[in-house]
């Protein structure tokens, strides 16, 4: 394969930039453009060693750098690799890349370094995908899961299932193809147990996918309530800065204001909505309709009430609408004398938190309640491996095939028919791990990577 080159750190000013080359000519190219102060040529350097020196464009000094050599196969890509740590200016970094290309390297494509690691057997496809999950992780749980997948946890889970199916297929094939060998007949109960065990393992992965998407992408959260109960002030408190306009005038918020807040290890995709009430204002009514839509679509609802006022008919209507949702009733203005009966609220929702958004009081209790309602405490990045959309699709296909195999076996059809479905499931799992993934699938996976990874 050709020798590729790219920036592996952010394309922005910083203390250091790292330019990476990988391929059979990377050490030869580095030897042309780098001179170590120790006078040792790059081609004579041992793997996993560094040298301090200068990058030259012919006779012109470009920068003082540290050059690191990784000799195949003991490198990230499995090929000879050179990393140049130069000063982190945009121009000087670009100049180093240009010199590498001028001397024989080619610009790397998106994800090409990790793709080569996969093609050279350094990583499975699931391990390779986890690289981007590590980069994009925004909390401890998602980072733990990404690291577990990168270390082979998902591959091992799928490989165990695939191994049990391969064994069953082997026994079925041997019994059908070599009847003269007097092999023991495949027991239906044993085969059914194998199928059901595989289904259980795969369905656990699918269940964890939903948890993973919540933690990776954020939880759609609607802040709802009557006008002037403190919805915008609550949003500002959760964000930690003033994003929403706050006034004493009812109906100030007419459109939906959306922001993302990080609460502990999870992300809330907040929507501050217009106050839900009866209104003759045409513009405000449009905002109220959008607020109702956000309430219906949200995974989590934060229903805000003014605790200094008694419940009215509009409050009761809101309580009724959230009774079937994952919801928290927030009694705002706890710094004032309370006029609300909690017993009346408990008829509709068991999760009640008292806060004073204006004084930023009660945030810790609210965060604890959010974790409880979403059952975040039951999600552990060590025990739960969060699959991505491609992996989910392969798992779903395998589950469908195994469910057909289970049904086929239960109604007494021939084992040939069962074999076909089990083999379909196995092919889906091998596509998931990358052992039988098409070139198109592999290209699609790595096209989502950044160029230098």
What are the CA-CA distances from residue 195 to residues 172, 426, 428 (Å)? 13, 11, 15
Superfamily of domain 140-213+388-447: tRNA modification GTPase MnmE domain 2 (1.20.120.430)
Per-residue pLDDT of the chain (453 residues; tens, 9 = 90+): 899 999 999 889 999 999 999 999 999 999 999 999 999 999 999 999 999 999 999 999 999 999 999 999 999 999 999 999 999 999 999 999 999 999 999 999 999 999 999 999 999 999 998 888 888 777 777 788 888 888 888 899 999 999 999 988 887 776 555 455 554 566 778 888 999 999 999 998 888 777 677 777 778 888 888 888 888 888 888 887 555 444 443 444 444 677 888 777 678 888 776 555 454 455 445 555 666 677 787 888 898 889 888 888 888 888 888 888 889 999 988 888 888 888 888 989 999 999 988 888 888 898 889 888 877 666 654 456 777 889 999 999 999 999 999 998 888 777 788 889 999 999 999 999 998 888 888 888 888 888 888
Q: Would you state the torsion angle of the CA atoms of residues 59, 64, 66, 70, taken in this order, to the nearest 10 degrees?
A: -20
State the CB neighbour count (10 A cutoff) for residue 431.
Answer: 20
The two three-digit tokens of residue 367, written as one number: 């965060």
Q: How far is CA 144 from the centre of its chain?
A: 11
Query: Alpha-carbon torsion 258, 131, 384, 425, what sign?
Result: positive
Tell me the β-bridge partners of 263.
266
304 forms bridges with which residues in the sheet?
A: 225, 330
- What CA–CA distance (Å, rounded) separates 19 from 83? 6
Tokens of 235: 């949003």
Which element (helix H / strand E) includes 196? Answer: helix 188-217
**CA distance linking residue 357 with residue 348, whole number of Å:** 23
Reading the block at residue 57, the tokens are 């464009």
pLDDT of residue 112: 94
Domain coordinates of the chain in residue numbers? 4-108, 140-213+388-447, 218-378
In 3D space, the residue among 16, 15, 22, 144 whose CA is nearest the CA of residue 76 turns out to be: 22
The conformation of residue 183, written as its DSSP 8-state character, comes to P
Is the distance from CB of 333 to CB of 308 less than 8 angstroms? yes
Cα 198 to chain centroid distance, Å, stands at 25
Nearby residues of 208 by Cβ (< 8 Å), 6 or more positions away: 384, 385, 386, 387
Backbone φ and ψ of 82, nearest 5°: -130, 135
- Non-local (6+) Cβ contacts of 239 within 8 A are 259, 261, 270
Distance CA 275, CA 224 (A): 7
Q: Does domain 218-378 have CATH number 1.20.1090.10?
A: no
Question: What are the φ and ψ backbone dihedral angles of 4, each rounded to 5 degrees?
Answer: -110, 160
Residues in the chain: 453
Dist. CA 217–CA 260, nearest whole Å? 10
CATH superfamily of 4-108: Probable tRNA modification gtpase trme; domain 1 (3.30.1360.120)
* 378: DSSP letter: G
pLDDT at 315: 83
The per-residue pLDDT for 371 is 82
Secondary structure E strands in 208-265 = 219-225, 257-263
Residue 106's DSSP bridge partners are 4
Query: Residue 437 has what DSSP assignment?
Result: -
Q: Please check whether residue 207 is in contact with residue 285, taking contact to mean a CB–CB distance below 8 angstroms.
A: no
DSSP per-residue codes, 114-127: HHHHHHTTSS-HHH
CA 52 from chain center: how many Å? Answer: 38
* Secondary structure class of 13 (helix, strand, coil): coil
Q: How far apart are CA 443 and CA 81, in angstroms?
A: 22
């Amino acid at each position: 394969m050709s020798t590729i080159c790219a920036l592996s750190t952010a394309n922005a000013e910083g203390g250091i930039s790292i330019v990476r080359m990988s391929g059979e000519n990377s050490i030869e190219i580095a030897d042309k453009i780098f001179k170590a102060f120790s006078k040792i040529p790059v081609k004579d350097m041992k793997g996993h060693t560094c040298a301090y020196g200068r990058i030259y464009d012919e006779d012109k000094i470009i920068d003082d750098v540290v050059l690191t050599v990784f000799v195949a196969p003991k490198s990230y890509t499995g090929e000879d690799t050179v990393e140049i740590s130069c000063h982190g200016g945009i121009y000087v970094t670009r100049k180093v890349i240009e010199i590498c290309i001028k001397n024989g390297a080619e610009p790397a494509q998106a994800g090409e370094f990790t793709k080569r690691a996969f093609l050279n057997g350094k990583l499975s496809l699931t391990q390779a995908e986890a690289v981007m999950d590590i980069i994009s992780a925004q909390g401890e749980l998602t980072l733990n899961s990404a690291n577990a997948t990168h270390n082979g946890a998902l591959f091992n889970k799928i490989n165990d299932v695939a191994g049990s199916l391969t064994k069953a297929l082997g026994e079925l094939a041997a019994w059908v193809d070599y009847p003269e060998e007097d092999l023991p007949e495949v027991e239906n109960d044993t085969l059914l147990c194998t199928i059901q065990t595989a289904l259980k393992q795969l369905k656990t992965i699918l269940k964890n996918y939903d948890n993973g998407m919540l933690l990776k992408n954020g939880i759609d959260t609607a802040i709802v309530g009557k006008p002037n109960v403190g919805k915008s002030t609550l949003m500002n408190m959760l964000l930690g800065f003033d994003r929403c306009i706050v006034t004493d005038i009812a109906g100030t918020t007419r459109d939906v204001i959306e922001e993302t807040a990080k609460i502990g290890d999870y992300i809330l995709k907040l929507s501050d909505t217009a106050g839900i009430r009866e209104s003759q204002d045409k513009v405000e009514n449009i905002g109220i309709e959008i607020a109702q839509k956000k309430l219906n679509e949200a995974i989590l609802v934060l229903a805000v009430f003014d605790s200094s006022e008694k419940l009215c008919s509009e409050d009761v209507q809101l309580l009724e609408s959230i009774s079937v949702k994952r919801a928290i009733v927030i009694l705002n203005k706890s710094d004032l004398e309370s006029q609300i009966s909690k017993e009346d609220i408990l008829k509709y929702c068991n999760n009640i938190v008292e806060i004073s958004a204006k004084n930023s009081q009660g945030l810790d209790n609210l965060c604890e309640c959010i974790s409880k309602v979403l059952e975040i405490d039951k999600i552990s990045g060590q025990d739960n491996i969060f699959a991505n959309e491609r992996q989910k699709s392969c798992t779903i296909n395998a589950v469908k095939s195994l469910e057909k195999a289970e049904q086929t076996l239960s109604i007494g059809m021939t084992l040939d028919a069962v074999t076909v479905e089990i083999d379909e499931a196995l092919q889906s799992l091998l596509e998931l791990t990358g052992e039988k993934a098409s070139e198109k699938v592999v290209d699609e996976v790595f096209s989502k990577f950044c160029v230098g990874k």
